[in-house]
Structures are given as structure tokens and as C-alpha cells.
Structure 1
Amino acid sequence: MLYFSKSVFRESSLTLTCPSSVVSTINWVKSHNKRTQLHSYQNLDHEENELDRNLRIQSLLMFLKSLSGLKKVCLQVSYQTATLDPEILSLIQACPSLIELELRIIDMDSLMLEESLKESLKQIGWTLTVWRNSVWINPDGKKFTEEELKKEKSRKGESSDSGSCLSLKTESSSAQSSSEYAELFTPELMKRGHEDKHKNTYRFVCPHAGQFRCSLTNLVFVMEGEGEVLYNIVSWDPHVLDGLGQIQPAGPLYNIDCSAGSVSKLHFPHCEMLSGEENKDGLAVAHFTGGNVEIIQPLKVTETHVIIDIRELSRFGLVWIKSIFGIPIRGQVLLFLGTLTLERKKLNVHLLPGNVPVSEVQHWYQDKKYIETSSKCRLFPYQEYSLYCQPEECEVQPMSEMFELDNFGPNYHPTFEVFLDVNIEEVRLGILDKTKGGKEVWNRRRIFLTAPSKGVEPSEHRRIPETEFVNTHGDKLIQRVSSVMAIADSLKSKNMITSEIWGKIKAAEPKQQKMRVLLEALDSGGDSVKAEFYRRLKENEPHLVDELESGPSRSSSRYYLPHSTSRTL
């Protein structure tokens, strides 16, 4: 017997299983939490005849039709029968709240899908996708009416299936399905400590609901309201995708956090040059949380971004779920110059996927000079490339190298190294495709080794005007800041200081003591709080900030904390 018991649903999903049956697993999601009486069904035995078996399946699907608010269905079946196709259509038409139907096929060799089913689904605005041992049937958001899109948007706060099924959710608005509508912002780059000195942490304080694109990483955040978003690139574990077939990384692995929980969608930049809709099916997003991996099918894949809906934030990385052979990518060539000895210097040449942020590579090579040049090129994964270099006395190693689509950080090793005399001020470089008879994929160009470095400024330099200002001007700030409470009010409104600290600042007298208490809180809060203090001070007392920044060396400055405790910042 397959027995469904009476239950109070505190979670939004329930998995029902029956061993040794044609339909062995049912995952279903209720859109409202309420007490529901389910019924009993007999086991769908392998040995019963085809007619009885089909009647059992029809009976089960009829039961599912009776469930109001049904959103997702996942059926695990041992084989496909011809009579299941019309039942699928009937279930979809009978359940207007349904947004996903998955069939997990145990024996894919026996799978039979009628073309008429695909055509019938298309006519009612649904699509059918087959991947590995599963079949997904989902609504096509582009065919929804404006009223239906509004209904889907109103439902997006409801819980969704948290099982191992691939996720696919309906687009809630046309604006959120296109990255070009995003408002551009430049994040704050934060120091992570001595052990992570080569890693950036990006900070974005969102002022309101909307769609925002990071100028350094090209990530797009769809926000439902204000909130602080922190994100950084972490290492891909080479074994984390083992056992998942051909799946491989297709972009950096981002660790993303938003304490306010106001991020509703993410747009991940991809570098694949997709020639048709069939290739877009190869991109997905891996979501790592609680030791599990969830592969999320996109809401949409554009020419530049992969768009997903999210339930929670943690680690996300773009993945390619089909063979990448033969598909070109948008690549980039980055150059970094360093000194070896008084007579020799070395130029690092990096061939990287186009969705690797330049700021990440720059931060890794802070001791070298970044040489800005036109970097875009077209590369094929697993093809061999060589570096053309003049003058000829420059030594290049290696002679050739295979381009592999796996260099997504946080370590970025050079593809080629050029050793040259310290007096050489100009070289000519080009990238050649050895598998195509030496065809140039990055045309030869003049590289001036004495030109000033431009582009994205390393985060160390961006930090100095903010946090280092507070660290080195404590004594002067205690004596001269007059807008202490205005700044404290702003920090409290952003939850950067507690109400208790705010109360201590307000109660302290005179104003110099107020500033001492505030500086102690800034020291405990870290770089992000100091940076916010700097911005508020510059807004309230710009002349004081300008005067202190243009003053003499600040290396020996100190400020004094309450109770005669002194600290050097």
C-alpha cells in the first residue's frame, strides 16, 4: 500500500515514497499551509498487466488533480507508457498553480516521448526538456499574459521544493530578465585580513529596490529593497562536481551574502558565444549549501548573462552541463610586468575567460604593474595557443599552451612568461591558434612597457582614503569633529552600531568624549564601519577631511580611548 497520512504542513514541500513501484516517489508542494487529509492508494506493482498499470497511474494523477494549490510534481518512474502523455496534459490543464513537472526515468532506454506531446505543450505555453535521466516540463514565461506574470510575481514569496530536483521558476517581469536595464554601481573593496591578502571582498549598500550591475564583476543583483550585499570569489573544489557527468565550471564561484535577505534574483555573466537556443540549454548554476549541490536551471540565458531565481544565498557558480568542445568563448588577455633583477624583467601574459573580473587578477598581482591594452579575443577551450613576441631576443615560455576553461580563481597563474632586458620599452605581442595553422586570435599590437597602468585600481589603494584615514587621524578627530551625533545617527540607522553604543555616545560629555566612544566602536566594527564613518564625515565636514588628507605623514598618530586606555590604530 502507498499510504498518505493526515498531517499538518509546516513546510512547503512533502516527499511521498513507495518502494518497488512504477511510481516510487512523489514530491509535491502546497502553496498554503493548512491541514489536509490525503488518501490511500495501492502499490503500482511491476507484475500487473499494462491495462491495470495504466489505470493505476491515471488514478494517481487524478488524485494529484484534486489537490488545490499544487505547484511542483516530481514522479520517479521505471519506464514510460504511451498513455501517460495525455495524462500529463490533463494534469497541467487541471492545475493552474502548477509551475514544474519532473519525470525521473529509471530506464532511459525505454523512454518514449511523442512529438505530439511537445507540440501540445508548446501550444499551451509549456516546454519540455530532457537531460540525463530526467524530463522537465515547465511553463514558458515568454508566453504568459501580463496578468499571469503579475500573479507569478505575487507568488514568488511562497516556499518552493528544497529537494534534489533541478529548479526552474517562472520569470516575474520582463525587466528582471534582461541585464541591460540594471543600474551600474562600483562596489567598495574591503580588506579580508592578512591570511586572505590576495582576495577581494566586494560590498554594495543597496539604497532601494531595483536591478543593479557591479562594474567590476558584471554580476547583477535584483533587489526587493535596501540592504548590504557582500560577495567574493572562492576556490572551486576540483572534486565537488564529481559524479555529475560532464558538468564543469563555466565561471567564478561566488560566495554571496545579504543580511537583509532582499536579493530575489541573480544574473551571472557568462563568456560563451552561443550560436543558437540549443547551446543555451548547456548553461546552469550550481548552488552549494549545507554540504549539498543543487543545479539550478536558468529562468533565461541572454547573450551575456545567466539569470536565476533564488531562495537563499551562499555559494553560486556558473556551470556547463554539456560538452564544451567546439563552442568559442569571449576571452581576454591580461598583462602584468614585474622586475626580476637590475638587468631583467618579466611580463606575465594571462589568457582568461571573459567573465573573470580584472580586479581579481590585479589584486593577486599587486606587486606587478598592470598594463592596460585592448584585451578581448575569441578562444576555443582545449585548443593549443602560442605567443608571438618581438623583439626576437625576448625569451618566451612555454612555446605553446592548451587553453582550459578552468582558470576561475582565486589563483590566476600566467599562461605565458616573457623574459626581457630591463631597457626594452616596447614589445609586439599576438596570440596564435596552433590548431588552425597559426591564425591570429589576438592580433599583434604594440605594448608600451613604460606606459602608466590604468583600469581598475587595486583595492589596497581604494582602502587608504577611507579606513586608513580613521586609523591614522584619531587624535585630530577627537579634538575637531563637531558632527558626532549626526554621524552616529547614520551609523545606527544602517545597523553598524548598536542602540547601546549609540546611547553611550549620546550620554558622553563633552563632545571629545563622544568621539572617543565612537572611535572605540569603529575599531570594533572593522573596515566597513570605518569606511562608512569616513563617508559620513566627508559629507558633514568636507573641509576638515580635505585638510587632514593634505597634511603631513600620519604614521605616528594615535587616539585615546576612555578610562585612560591607549591604542595605536
Structure 2
Amino acid sequence: MKLQSSFEEFTPDFTGGGEDDEDDETYWLRCSSPGLYQCRVSGLVFAMKGEGDVSYRIVSWSSRLLSQHGKKPAGPLFDIRCQQQSVAQLHLPHCEIRSTGGCTYLSVAHIGDEGIEFIKPEEITETHVIINITGFSAFGIVKDKDSPPDPVQALVLLFYKPPAAPYVTYLCLLKALVRMFLKLPAPPNEPSRLNVLLLPANVVIRDVKRKRKEFYGTETFIDAPQLCQLQPNQFYTLSTDPAGDSVLIQPTEAEFDAESYNNHLTSIQRENTGLSADEQLREHRTKIINGISEANLKSLLDKLLEINVISDAEREEVEEKKIRDKARLLVDTVRRKGDAASSEMIRLLCELDPYFSEHLGLM
């Protein structure tokens, strides 16, 4: 994202966000003179009126809060701080296509301790929304809830997941010994997976990669051409070559959600054939309901909420039930959301209780 004005690009310093750090990663601009400074990672531009250290991090939107004001997210929400108060203007990257009129519905939400206010932009360029600021806290671009679903600039991101190493449990070892004794063939290898994400173009790719690593482990990010135009609420399909029985696409189509700033789940997954995650949950539904422990069910609820597979309201509804009814409602709620959500539930269940998951045949 390039501005027409003169500016200086910088690569920020990073603090926090490590494997053992519960806080979000913080970016730093350390500025020694006035000018325009654009972050290579986030696309943010700071108009500095003097020396100062600016810290900024990505925080989660409250969709409920925005809905109360007839708004929806149209960019990441940045928590910005500057002790020297030396930031005069903030340029936030947008993903609208100006020729369609989408910029007309943009404003900037400023969320602080005293509530939320909506700032009218000083200017909207081809790439950025520009506002004057005096105070600091969270800033993010929003759009009118009832704005037309015009096409936006979007990213198609690819993450490759190699075959997973099996969990080493007593049952695994016993199975291996039986196979050796009876001279049975080894089980088929785990499938490799290509995870495809459809996201608005102004997401911060570094943040997407960091959060996916936190939740899904090691993946290889495929740096292929990414930018395109997608229609919000439109369904897209993934075609592969070669196609056939050796390849499974799930789900067969995925909706592009232009508000996906908190959610970095896989949109479409390409893997070897076998039962889909939705089919696995359906096949093992009764055994999961009857066999999952209350402690693991609670942890599963927490983790599914963390990665936005379920909502706060859905979690509260589950927690009101008794243990077996909780499990039944959770399995059915996730299964109805499709293969991507079902796959995440299976993955988390395997992490929480590998012995139980292996007994079910999920591993």
C-alpha cells in the first residue's frame, strides 16, 4: 500500500506475542523527527509532529458493540499508544474499491474507557482513511451495517500442513507391536492438507500467521500471488488439478466474509480422501457425548471460543445444560457449522484427550 505523499517506510520492532506470552504482539515505531512513517507490516501510516515512541497492537472487535450502533468491522482494530502525544494524524489502510462507492460508508471507531465514538475521516485515499487524533486507545475502520455488499480487495492465503506425526500413547505402541507380530501392513499415512483462507486485503498477514501457529502448530505459508477482488457474502469454490478420488475438497464452497478480522479459520481445505470432519463427528457423536470428561468438555468450550468456532452466546447456551446435554449440544452446534469448524473441534479433542480420540478412530 503506497501513499502519493512523501513518506518513510519502516519495519517495526516487536515485543510480546511469544509462545509463553499471553499478551498480543506489540509493534513499535521509534521516531526521532517529524514526518510521515508507514509500517511495512500493518500498512498503518503515522503523521508525526515530533519525536516519539509509538506502540500499537491488534485487538479483537466486539461485533455486539458495533451492531448496537449500526456498524460492522472494515479493518483491524489497533490499540495505539504514544506517551509523547506526538502523533498528529493516523492513516488506516482500507480494502474498498473507490470506483464502486464503498468508501462513502466508511468511518473510524475510537474505543476508549469512556465508550465508543465514530470519527468522520479528514480524507479517504485509494488505500487509506485519514483522521486527526489527539487522544490514544483503539482505532479501527468501520462501515455502515446496511451498506451495499460491493466487491472489495481481498487476499487468498495458502497454508500447507504436512502429515501430522501420530501421538505416542500406550495404545499406539500396542497397535504397532501387534502389526509387527502379525506382519500386518502399516496404516496409511496421515493426509497432507492445503488450507485456503479468504480474508479482506487490509488484514495484517503477520498477525494471521502468528495466530494460526498458536492454534494449529507449524504450517508452511505459501507466498503466492494473493490480491484479488471478492464479493462479500458470495460463495467461492476451489478447483484442483489433478482431481479425483485422491483429493478431497471440504467444504465444497465457502462464503467470503468481509468482516473476518477476528477469525482466521480455514475457508476451504484440500486433503486426501476419507471421511470429512463433519461426517466423523456424526459417526462418533454418541461416543463423544457419552465418553468425554467434564474437564475436557470445559477446556474444549474455552478453546473453541478462543478461535471463534463458537460465539459467547453459544457457549453460554451449552453451559446451562447438564454434562451429557452439554456435549450433545456442542457437537451438534459445531457440526452444523460445516467441515472447517468440525475439523477444529476434532483437532482440539485429539490434543486434549489423545487416548480417547484414538479409541474413537479420530487419530
Q: Which TM-score band applies after superposition, normalised by the shorter structure?
A: 0.5 to 0.7
Partner of 1:428: none
Distance across 1 between alignment mates of 2:23 and 2:153: 25
Partner of 1:350: 197
| 1:252 paired to 2:76 | yes
Tell me how far 1:183 sits from its aligned partner.
0.8
Q: Secondary structure at the match of 1:389?
A: coil
Partner of 1:40: none
Superposed CA deviations along residues 35-59 of structure 1, whole A, max 9, x for unmatched, are xxxxxxxxxxxxxxxxxxxxxxxxx
2:85–2:134 contact (8 Å) kept in structure 1: no
| 1:312 paired to 2:135 | yes
Q: Secondary structure at the match of 1:241?
A: helix
2:194–2:270 contact (8 Å) kept in structure 1: yes
Q: Secondary structure at the match of 2:9?
A: strand
Counterpart of 2:256 (choices 403, 410, 421) is: 403
Alignment of 1:60-99 (within 5 A): none
Distance across 2 between alignment mates of 1:198 and 1:382: 32
| 1:363 paired to 2:210 | yes
Distance across 2 between alignment mates of 1:205 and 1:398: 45
Superposed CA deviations along residues 420-475 of structure 1, whole A, max 9, x for unmatched, are 49xxxxxxxxxxxxxxxxxxxxxxxxxxxxxxxxxxxxxxxxxxxxxxxxxxxxxx
Tell me how far 1:194 sits from its aligned partner.
4.9
Q: Secondary structure at the match of 2:84?
A: coil
Q: How many residues align?
A: 241
**Alpha-carbon spacing, 1:272–1:196, altered in 2? closer, same or farther (3 Å):** farther
Tell me how far 1:394 sits from its aligned partner.
1.6
| 1:387 paired to 2:210 | no
Distance across 2 between alignment mates of 1:420 and 1:223: 52
Alignment of 1:478-489 (within 5 A): none
1:328–1:378 contact (8 Å) kept in structure 2: yes
Greater RCO (Cα-Cα under 8 Å, separation 6 or more): 2
| 1:236 paired to 2:61 | yes
Distance across 1 between alignment mates of 2:53 and 2:35: 14
| 1:329 paired to 2:152 | yes
Distance across 1 between alignment mates of 2:92 and 2:66: 19
2:26–2:56 contact (8 Å) kept in structure 1: yes
Tell me how far 1:201 sits from its aligned partner.
1.4
Partner of 2:293: none
State, as a whole percentage, how many aligned pairs show the same letter.
37
1:179–1:267 contact (8 Å) kept in structure 2: no
1:217–1:357 contact (8 Å) kept in structure 2: yes
Distance across 2 between alignment mates of 1:283 and 1:332: 20
1:198–1:363 contact (8 Å) kept in structure 2: no
Counterpart of 2:117 (choices 252, 273, 294) is: 294
| 1:303 paired to 2:156 | no
Tell me how far 1:352 sits from its aligned partner.
0.6
| 1:413 paired to 2:236 | no
2:96–2:103 contact (8 Å) kept in structure 1: no
Alignment of 1:263-302 (within 5 A): 263-275=87-99, 279-302=102-125
2:196–2:266 contact (8 Å) kept in structure 1: yes
Tell me how far 1:370 sits from its aligned partner.
0.7
Partner of 2:335: none
Q: Secondary structure at the match of 1:216?
A: coil
2:63–2:72 contact (8 Å) kept in structure 1: no
Structure 1 letter corresponding to 2:154:
G
Superposed CA deviations along residues 152-182 of structure 1, whole A, max 9, x for unmatched, are xxxxxxxxxxxxxxxxxxxxxxxxxx56422
2:149–2:233 contact (8 Å) kept in structure 1: no
- Which consecutive unaligned segments of at least 5 residues does structure 1 have? 1-177, 422-569
Structure 1 letter corresponding to 2:241:
Q
Cα RMSD after superposing both structures: 1.9
Tell me how far 1:322 sits from its aligned partner.
5.7
Distance across 2 between alignment mates of 1:198 and 1:340: 30
Partner of 1:208: 33
Structure 2 letter corresponding to 1:264:
A
Tell me how far 1:398 sits from its aligned partner.
0.6
- Which consecutive unaligned segments of at least 5 residues does structure 2 have? 165-188, 274-363
Partner of 2:12: 187
Distance across 1 between alignment mates of 2:114 and 2:272: 48
Structure 1 letter corresponding to 2:73:
P
| 1:377 paired to 2:264 | no
Distance across 2 between alignment mates of 1:272 and 1:383: 16
Superposed CA deviations along residues 482-536 of structure 1, whole A, max 9, x for unmatched, are xxxxxxxxxxxxxxxxxxxxxxxxxxxxxxxxxxxxxxxxxxxxxxxxxxxxxxx
Structure 2 letter corresponding to 1:385:
Y
Structure 2 letter corresponding to 1:416:
I
Q: Secondary structure at the match of 1:363?
A: helix
Distance across 2 between alignment mates of 1:237 and 1:288: 10
Structure 2 letter corresponding to 1:352:
L
**Alpha-carbon spacing, 1:322–1:179, altered in 2? closer, same or farther (3 Å):** farther
Superposed CA deviations along residues 201-229 of structure 1, whole A, max 9, x for unmatched, are 11111121100000011000000111111
| 1:224 paired to 2:49 | yes
Tell me how far 1:188 sits from its aligned partner.
1.3
Distance across 2 between alignment mates of 1:363 and 1:198: 12
Distance across 2 between alignment mates of 1:257 and 1:418: 41
2:75–2:140 contact (8 Å) kept in structure 1: yes
Tell me how far 1:311 sits from its aligned partner.
1.5
**Alpha-carbon spacing, 1:187–1:398, altered in 2? closer, same or farther (3 Å):** same
Normalised by the length of structure 1, the TM-score is 0.41
**Alpha-carbon spacing, 1:363–1:193, altered in 2? closer, same or farther (3 Å):** closer
Partner of 1:107: none
Distance across 2 between alignment mates of 1:305 and 1:179: 11
**Alpha-carbon spacing, 1:189–1:266, altered in 2? closer, same or farther (3 Å):** same
Superposed CA deviations along residues 181-206 of structure 1, whole A, max 9, x for unmatched, are 22100111222455656842111111
